[in-house]
Structure 1
Amino acid sequence: MENYQDIHVSSEVGTLRRLLIHSPDEGIGKVIPTKAQDWLFEDIVHLDTMRKKEYDLYLKILLYFLDYNKIHSVIHKIDLPENERHFYKPDKEKYFNSDKVIEPQALLSSLLDEKELRQRMIASVCAHEGTSYLLQEELMELESSVLARTLISGILPDKRMIFPPIPNLIFTRDIGITVNDHILLNKPKKKARTRESILMKYIFFNHSMFQNYTDKIIEITDPEDFFLLDEEEQEKKLVTIEGGDVMMVAPNHLLVGVSERTSIHAASKVIHEMHDRNIVEKVTIVKIPAKRAYMHIDTTFTQVKRDMWVIFGSFSKEGLKKEKGDFISSLGGSKSENELEILQYVKGEDYNTPIRFNYLEDLLNDISVNDLKSESPTKFIYSGDNEFPHGRREQWTDSCNVLALKEGVVIGYDRNDKTSNGFKKQGMNVIKAADLLDQLIKEEVHPNDISNTLILLPSAELSRARGGSHCMSMPILRDHL
């Protein structure tokens, strides 16, 4: 029988059993235009629309697939006027508390019942945010559920805003990644995400859910002499990593992106940790251009099933060959602006001579065929169905960022029409989340019966935050493939 404490992920597409997600909180509604980019949002969002008309569907679909009996028995009560909004948040009396689809705010609230932990967390957060000592005293008096909400949103019950919001916590993928039975924690590059990291470390190291895994939690840190370096040297040796740049693609194989957010020094440390601890045999580094448009590797490709991937066409074999033809190498140009570098490091072999892959499709095909033992040809779906300008437009709105609920059943965004056509061409069914939810509620279909399907979430507001369903999840338990 599955244990509440079981933590294990050995693929991107094994049937999903448990994950962490954080539904949009009131802090997102406090993002203002002048601070949006500082807080890593491309635009301001309408919170009620994001939460009630978009994220609500994401959450209910997850619950139907992961916690069917519990959600199906009460689904008719959730949207009654007296329950409105109570479904979403742990500080509400009628909060729907699932042990399969887990809200970090609920975990944080339970930790804050312990006085010593409460003191330490308040001190850590207030030191980071540079608040007054008296404010710490005020926070100590708050009820645990209210304090948890305040530490996340930055807003006191009297509506005073005492911290900046941490709106990116909805992208729970970035706080950490489960690698077999270990958890690799993030070390964010942007200050806007540091409070997320502080709070989640307390949860991972102190909550009973993770008590059997504290010796399997991996923190990637700066070199010991980092603080002695001048600013220029520090910038060169920066160690930063976020979960969107880490993919557990097979029991023996981890992918790590080097990107705008994850540094090459962090990637190097991950290779050593994975091999020294004997967690995986292979670590493949996928270095992409350090640009906001891409951000993490999971904005450029994700997996649909063992023999199928969705990828950004400009990073494809055809796309890169086309760009390389635009200049004459003897003039001094050596790489196109979208050039990728893919290096695979195998435990026990010379790190100075890694295995090189020329193209992303080559790597993904190798994973499908050799790691996952697929017996059918590897298929690729391209962002925007590889039509200009839809490939780039839809990559920006997370066409390549899908979450697998089980092999061949993934969640994406409804605005990426051309990419949806690409799914259809590969024999995938495409259905709107609201229509599927209606069928599930009426018992016209059961999650176990659904296969080869792209589920489309409404995404007018969610897409403004620049993250898809893959970003909005931290799987902690999947079935083995």
Structure 2
Amino acid sequence: MKLNVSSETGRLRGVIVHTPGHEVSLVNPELKDELLFDDIVFEEDARREHLDMLDIFRAAMPPEGKIYEITDLFLECFHMDQQEARAFFIEELIRRYPQGNLHTVKEELLSMPPDELLRFAIEGITTHKDLVLNPTPNLLFTRDLAAVVNDSILLSRPAKAARIREFLLMEMLVRYHPLFSELKANILTISEQETIEGGDVLVASGDLVLIGMSERTSFSGLMTAAEGLLNRGVTQVLAIDIPKQRSSMHLDTIFTFASNDECLVFPPAITERERNVVKLNSENGSIRAEIKSSLKDALEECMGHSFTFINCGGNSRTNQFREQWTDGANVFALAPGVIVGYERNTNTFNALKEHGYEVINQFDFIEEYRDRPFNPGSKKIAIGFEGNELCRGRGGARCMTLPISRES
């Protein structure tokens, strides 16, 4: 599979996900805040909801499309014939967790069976009584780990210590798993003093990338990433200053693309803000910055066509805040004008319907295309799926997906 992402809405061909496992059951009320969860999650229901979402993907993707479970990729890297990958992860784990004194059990980690090492990496527990770490429940949100932009991959750096282990695992994959072999020469990184997370990186086109300066992405991380992208074929970056708060932790919690010319937005943080967007481009080896009046104006100028912004929650202020909280603005495009999101955000779906989308639930969509190919383009479709447990982790459909291949 050729790895390349040059838009947010090109038809999905390859995506990395993580169906929640036992690690979410290891989050207790005393740990939840430290582990960045607002509530505890019921594992069985969360798994069912996630697997239902993946069934939608399978029905909508082309025959050659592929869904990769990230833990399967990790396990392949941990096998004994991948000693270099295993050694990389363990060395970095020891270095980034000095308080854990993991150097004392380095040899045990190097010789641990692959499935046990994977369990330790995800759940934080092994048969070794002295080897215990916190679980990694946020692995559910694979989007934050990296971003494929054209034929490059930007590796994230976490803002919160609770997510360090996930990001080390992702770096191991990119550097050592054969799936990423064609991108190894095009890895973009930032320093350990900076932060950037994939939820803040939106690929509007092969020429334009949006990066949010958020609670999780620092100014220096944004600028370093922008410089790297501008040196790798991207011609313009829009840097967007967004509220630094839990409810809008990433740009994609308040803004996502639904089609080539439509976006879902949370008005208080997008359309009601002015002069919070800076256009960056490279001129003679230097970055030139230009303040723009609004995100909509900047996007239309850079893309050369008009955009329609559709309100998450509709026109009611209360509904906008309620449905943004349950990820109404965080939809994921399977193709241009074919999106998935939590069905509980009924006012958002009603707004989409008013803009010409056919609203359909997960079961009807899967049944309709179970035995015949889905050919996007004839109509716009908004597919709702259950996410009453998944949304407790504070992330929607886009958060739970890391696209690695889309049609141009």
Common fold by TM > 0.5: yes
Larger Rg: 1
Report matched runs for 1:29-428 at 5 Å. Answer: 29-52=25-48, 54-66=49-61, 68=63, 100-113=66-79, 114-129=82-97, 130-133=100-103, 135-156=105-126, 162-222=132-192, 238-275=193-230, 277-317=231-271, 319-320=272-273, 341-348=276-283, 354-368=289-303, 370=304, 374=305, 377-428=306-357
In structure 2, list runs of 5 or more residues that go unmatched. Answer: none
The amino acid of 2:201's aligned partner reads V
| 2:182 match: secondary structure | coil
2:255–2:270 Cα contact (<8 Å) kept:
no
CA distance in 2, matches of 1:182, 1:32: 38
For structure 1, list consecutive stretches of 5 or more residues without a partner in the other structure. 70-98, 223-237, 321-338
Give 1:37 shift.
1.4
Contact 1:15 1:478 in 2 (8 A): yes
Instruction: Return closer, same or farther for 1:460/1:435 CA change in 2, 3 Å cut-off.
Output: same
Matched with 1:434 is 363
Q: Which amino acid aligns with 1:41?
A: F
Separation (CA, whole Å) in 1 of partners of 2:331 and 2:40? 23
2:143, 2:399 within 8 Å by CA — same for their partners in 1? yes
**Are the counterparts in 2 of residues 249 and 367 from structure 1 also a CA contact under 8 Å?**
no
**Partner SS, residue 14 of structure 1:** coil
Which sits farther off after the overlay, 193-202 or 138-147? 138-147
Aligned partner letter, 1:250: S
Deviation at residue 420 of structure 1 after TM alignment: 0.6
Instruction: Flag the structure with higher strand content.
Output: 2
The offset of 1:350, in angstroms, is: 9.6
Cα-to-partner distance string for 1:341-377 (whole Å, 9 max, x where unaligned): 1000122179786232212222333355x1xxx5xx5
Q: Give the residue type in structure 2 aligned to 1:189.
A: A
| Amino acid aligned to 1:106 | D
- The 3-state SS of whatever aligns with 1:211 is helix
Report the number of matched residues: 403
Q: Secondary structure of the equivalent of 1:257?
A: strand
The corresponding residue for 2:19 is: 23
Partners of 1:163 and 1:183 in 2: CA distance: 29
Do the aligned partners of 2:214 and 2:251 also contact (CA within 8 Å) in 1? yes
Looking at structure 2, the residues matched to 175 and 316 of structure 1 have their Cα atoms a distance apart, in angstroms, of 24
In structure 2, the CA distance between the partners of 1:132 and 1:178, relative to structure 1 (3 Å rule), is: closer
Residues 21-70 of structure 1: CA deviation (Å, up to 9, x unaligned): 11112111111111111111111110101102x1011111122333648x
Provide the secondary structure at the position in 1 that maps to 2:217.
coil
Cα distance in 2 between the residues matched to 1:246 and 1:307: 18
Secondary structure in 1 aligned to 2:204?
Answer: strand
* Contact 1:58 1:457 (8 Å CA) reproduced: yes
Aligned residues of 1:8 and 1:476 also touching (Cα < 8 A): yes
Aligned counterpart, 2:397:
469
1:380-400 superposed Cα distances (whole Å, 9 cap, x missing partner):
210110212010111111111
Q: Which moved more, 1:154-163 or 1:301-310?
A: 154-163
User: CA offset at residue 180 of structure 1?
Assistant: 0.8
Distance 2:39 2:298 in 1: 34
Asked if the contact 1:245/1:258 (under 8 Å) is kept, the reply is yes
AA of the residue aligned to 2:40: I
Residue 235 (structure 1) aligns with: none
Describe the SS at the equivalent of 1:470: coil
Matched AA of 1:452: K
TM-score by length of 1: 0.79
Q: 1:147-195 CA deviation, whole Å, 9 max, x = no partner?
A: 2233122233699982211111111111010111000000111001111
| C-alpha distance after superposition, 1:55-97 (max 9, x if no partner) | 011111122333648xxxxxxxxxxxxxxxxxxxxxxxxxxxx
Deviation string 1:170-224 (CA, Å, 9 cap, x unpaired) is 11111010111000000111001111111111110111111222120011114xx
Shift of residue 115, structure 1, vs aligned partner: 2.9
| Separation (CA, whole Å) in 1 of partners of 2:312 and 2:18 | 27
Change beyond 3 A, Cα 1:157–1:412: farther
After the TM superposition, which of the residue ranges 32-41 and 134-143 deviates more from structure 2? 134-143
Distance apart, 1:256 and its partner CA: 0.9
Q: Give me the whole-angstrom Cα distance separating, in 1, the residues matched to 2:134 and 2:279.
A: 40
Residues 412 and 456, structure 1, Cα contact 8 Å, conserved in 2: yes
Q: Percent identity?
A: 33
Distance 1:292 1:187 in 2: 18
Q: If the length of structure 2 is used for normalisation, what is the TM-score?
A: 0.92
